[in-house]
Amino acid sequence: MEAAMFVLPPPPRYPTSQLVGVGGQALIETNNTLTKPSGSEFQLVVGEGTYVLRDELYLATPPPHPSEAPVHNPNPLATTIAPPTAGVRLSLTILTPRQGYVSSLYRSNTTNRTVSPFPDSIQEHPNESQSQASDAGSHLQANGSHNHSYGRSTVFGDGNPALAIPVGKDSKDPSKKRKPKSNMIKSNSSFVSRVIPHDALTKRLNERSPEGIMAFANINRALQWLDLSSSTTFPKEEHLTKILFTKAHPLCHDINQITKSTTHIDLVMGFSTGDAIWYEPITQKYARLNKNSSINGSAMSCIQWIPHSENMFLAAHMDGSLVVYDKEKEDSPFIAKDTPTSAVDKPADPAHPILSVKKSVQSSNQKTNPVAYWKVSNSRINAFAFSPDDRHLAVVSEDGSLRIIDFLKETLLDVYSSYYGGLMCVCWSPDGRYVVTGGQDDLISIWSLEESAIVARCQGHNSWVTAVQFDPWRCDERNYRFGSVGEDCRLLLWDFSVGMLHRPRAVAGRQGSITSPLPGKIAGRLRSSSNLTSVSINGDEIVHPVESRARTAILPPVMAKTIDDHPLSWLSFESDCIVTTCKNGHIRTWDRPKDSSEEPI
């Protein structure tokens, strides 16, 4: 009998492949769904009033790509490292800023330290500009950076002629923004699986309100472009564009607030493969950077545009490196080399290395990426945030360190340590006086940069804290409000004032006041300060020893509530609402109290 020729069938077309899910059912992609739950369980009761859940948008989770075979591991004790993933995060923007938030804070120019020149006072500004009103909320982002500019600060890379834009390059039409060259829809790249634009995308963009909030959301191996202010004519749950990547997962992303307009948006994305993509969604053009790990082969955990820059962005790689890329430059193989600095070469504690500059922004070789390359830690960097004055950078990492860097001078200023475990998230207060971090010790820490010390620990979460964020509409010159979410599925709101942080330790009791002792279940697992010695440069302490827990105040939350069935991953405060997300794809919008006397205008 003649043997029959065996021919492999063509691969099934997505999404009709029968991928097996939970319970043996076929795993298929569904559309986004929008619900409007009601009831007391969907309300947040705080002193100023009640926040009510407006709606819940559930993002469709794409199944694995057909070429990605399911991993079967028969050994339950195997320690195979899974590829990095991230919960749902949003990048928000309003293309035409509206008059909503007016900051009552501005920083004075006084300083009280040589190494860390942070302000020692904040006052009411009599002539505060309102031109950037609404974006302050949408860009107190997951990284904590504020979109206000308190006077023109020095631009990163100033003084290096190699970074100057050649004369005449933009002379034809200065108002026309440069776009990537490749069309994502027509691309034959194996990196992108497919692009699904809305059938009426052009009509939706032309007819939508420019004051509405746009969002980009990552979920699994997909990125969705959403209009969160859609009406009944254009349902909110219908994406503007959905991009499915083959195997790479987008872990972080950011919108350039300098170049945005009603006809142009610059979005940068960081991936689990270490790649970065510069994407212009209106024209569907894109460019891929760090291709084939030419500069750094580890995944990106956080990505942000450099303040005041149209071209440069900063990416945190999971090997502990911070890399500055230029969106328009080609990549070239990079070999890290130490650049002589004035910093101490060998710190006392090897767990906290001094900033190592592998390539300086002042380097004369700026024809290709990277623009700058800094080795910050030997552990994974989890998040970073630019300060409101656009001069400093707060970086948190898996080794439990908070590092304050003057990124304009490429200088490490301060290193602080958690009591226990890694630090997961970080943000700045709107006035730049305080930095707030959340960590794996289930605690939130408030750090005063004027005092170079921790001033309070915030106890209330029952699991890792995944995001912290200040509410600029409820902050003034002495009082602060911030929120936090965690893997315990809870949203917590916190209030503190300058006076509270300096009360006698005996003051305790009512909610919102500061108490002294830590609970017994945490006290036994805190990091001892005996193994950490300080490092000084020019007489100023750089690596600060851990403050004794007996001297650290405890701040309880003013509101704590479980708001989801899945671990939470992100939150943001907007002028009229709070937005939260979870790792499973739920985006919840909470309306601010309608009867509040301090309701935003």
Residue 277 included in any domain: yes
Pairing of strands 453-459, 465-470: unpaired
Residue 120 included in any domain: no
> Within this chain, do residues 364 and 385 fall inside the same structural domain, yes or no?
no
Residue 391: what pLDDT? 95
Pairing of strands 453-459, 554-555: parallel
pLDDT digits (tens, 9 = 90+) for 30-47: 799 999 999 999 999 999
Residue 110 included in any domain: no
Name the residue among 390, 391, 393 with its Cα closest to residue 381.
393
Residue 92 pLDDT grade (very low, low, confident, very high; cuts 50, 70, 90): very high
DSSP letter for each residue of 553-589: -EE--SEEEE--SS-EEEEEE-SSEEEEEETTSEEEE
The half-sphere exposure of 277 on its side-chain side, counting CA atoms within 13 A, is 25
Residue 214 pLDDT grade (very low, low, confident, very high; cuts 50, 70, 90): very high
> Within this chain, do residues 428 and 365 fall inside the same structural domain, yes or no?
no
Residue 434 included in any domain: yes
DSSP letter for each residue of 86-137: ----EEEEESS--S------EE-S----SS----S-EE--TT---TTTTHHH
Question: How many Cβ atoms sit within 10 Å of the Cβ of residue 264?
Answer: 18
Peptide bond into 15 cis (omega under 30): yes
* Residue whose token pair is 């969604």: 281
pLDDT at position 331 over 50? yes
Residue 88 included in any domain: yes
> Within this chain, do residues 248 and 394 fall inside the same structural domain, yes or no?
no
Average pLDDT over residues 212-236: 90
- State the Cα torsion 201-202-207-211 to the nearest 10°: 70
> Within this chain, do residues 288 and 308 fall inside the same structural domain, yes or no?
yes
More confident residue, 276 or 542: 276
Domain total in the chain: 2
pLDDT at position 503 over 70? no
Residue 500 pLDDT grade (very low, low, confident, very high; cuts 50, 70, 90): confident
pTM for the model: 0.82
Residue 337: what pLDDT? 65
Residue 82: what pLDDT? 72
Domain assignment of residue 39, given as a range: 31-60+377-501+541-595
pLDDT digits (tens, 9 = 90+) for 231-273: 767 899 999 999 999 989 999 999 999 999 999 999 999 999 9
Task: Report whether 243 contacts 200 (CB < 8 A).
Answer: no
> Within this chain, do residues 357 and 391 fall inside the same structural domain, yes or no?
no
Lowest mean pLDDT of 194-208, 327-341, 524-538, name the range: 524-538
Lowest mean pLDDT of 216-230, 492-506, 558-572, name the range: 492-506
Name the residue among 422, 240, 410, 206 with its Cα closest to residue 318.
422
Residue 165 included in any domain: no
Write the CATH number for 458: 2.130.10.10
Residue 539: what pLDDT? 45
> Within this chain, do residues 381 and 496 fall inside the same structural domain, yes or no?
yes
Q: What is the C-alpha to C-alpha distance for residues 489 and 163, in angstroms, rounded to an integer? A: 45
> Within this chain, do residues 364 and 417 fall inside the same structural domain, yes or no?
no
Question: Mean pLDDT, the chain, as a whole number?
Answer: 80
Output the 3-class SS for 226-286.
EECCCCCCCCCCCCCEEEEECCCCEEEEEECCCCCECCECCEEEEECCCCEEEEECCCCEE
Percentage with pLDDT > 70 across the chain: 71
Q: What is the DSSP letter of 348?
A: S
Average pLDDT over residues 116-126: 36
> Within this chain, do residues 424 and 320 fall inside the same structural domain, yes or no?
no
Percentage with pLDDT > 90 across the chain: 60
